[in-house]
């Protein structure tokens, strides 16, 4: 896994399209800033449901614009995995997220899950042709 960015507690709330205030955690990956709602993150950690990753727009405050990915708990329940719309996958440890939510820590690193290239199967047999003598 490669370090791709960081996640931090935001000191300011973000507003959705209806004008409701939400506490968020900011995820900064390769010069892009995303947001995760704190209530969604707690639901992911304690019930295993899925949540959304939002894109943030700065315009007289922070605004949640569009959903850009999904978050889910890993099978081992030791990490939260992010899948963004561009197909890239990232992971954050659950211990680090719990420390940020409880206030013991202010930020943690985000790692990129490397995608393995597909295996290329090579065949050393020649193609079958109808002119094979029997």
Asked whether residue 38 is domain-assigned, the answer is yes
Residue 8 confidence (pLDDT) above 70 = yes
Asked whether residue 83 is domain-assigned, the answer is yes
Asked whether residue 61 is domain-assigned, the answer is yes
State residue 127's pLDDT score: 61
Q: Tens of pLDDT along 73-124?
A: 999 999 999 999 988 999 999 999 999 999 999 999 999 988 776 666 665 6
> Binning pLDDT at 50, 70 and 90, where does residue 60 land?
confident
Average pLDDT over residues 40-64: 90
Tally of structural domains, the chain: 1
Mean pLDDT over each residue of the chain, to the nearest integer: 87
CB 10 within 8 A of CB 100: no
Q: What angle do CA 119, 72, 46 make, to 5 degrees?
A: 145
Asked whether residue 87 is domain-assigned, the answer is yes
> Binning pLDDT at 50, 70 and 90, where does residue 129 land?
low
State residue 14's pLDDT score: 93
Cα-based distances in Å from 66 to 32, 46, 77, 121: 13, 25, 27, 40
Asked whether residue 108 is domain-assigned, the answer is yes
Long-range pairs of 105-109 with CB within 8 A, sequence gap ≥ 24: 106/8, 106/9, 107/6, 107/7, 107/8, 107/9, 108/6, 108/7, 108/8, 109/3, 109/5, 109/6, 109/7
Handedness of CA 58, 62, 68, 71 (dihedral sign): positive
Residue 87 contacts by C-beta under 8 Å, 6 or more apart in sequence?
A: none
Asked whether residue 125 is domain-assigned, the answer is no
Residue 133 confidence (pLDDT) above 60 = no
Question: In terms of residue numbers, what domain contains 26?
Answer: 2-113
């Amino acid at each position: 896994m490669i370090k791709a960015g960081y996640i931090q507690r935001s000191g300011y709330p973000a507003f959705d399209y209806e004008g409701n205030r939400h506490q968020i955690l900011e995820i900064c990956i390769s010069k892009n800033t995303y947001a995760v709602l704190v209530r969604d993150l707690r639901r992911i950690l304690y019930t295993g449901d899925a949540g959304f990753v939002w894109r943030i727009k700065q315009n007289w405050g922070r605004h949640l614009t569009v959903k850009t990915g999904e978050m889910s708990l890993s099978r081992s329940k030791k990490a939260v995995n992010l899948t963004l719309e561009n197909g890239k996958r990232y992971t954050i440890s659950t211990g680090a997220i719990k420390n940020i939510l409880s206030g013991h820590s202010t930020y943690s690193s985000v790692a990129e899950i490397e995608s393995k290239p597909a295996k290329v199967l090579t065949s050393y047999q020649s193609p079958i042709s109808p002119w094979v003598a029997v």
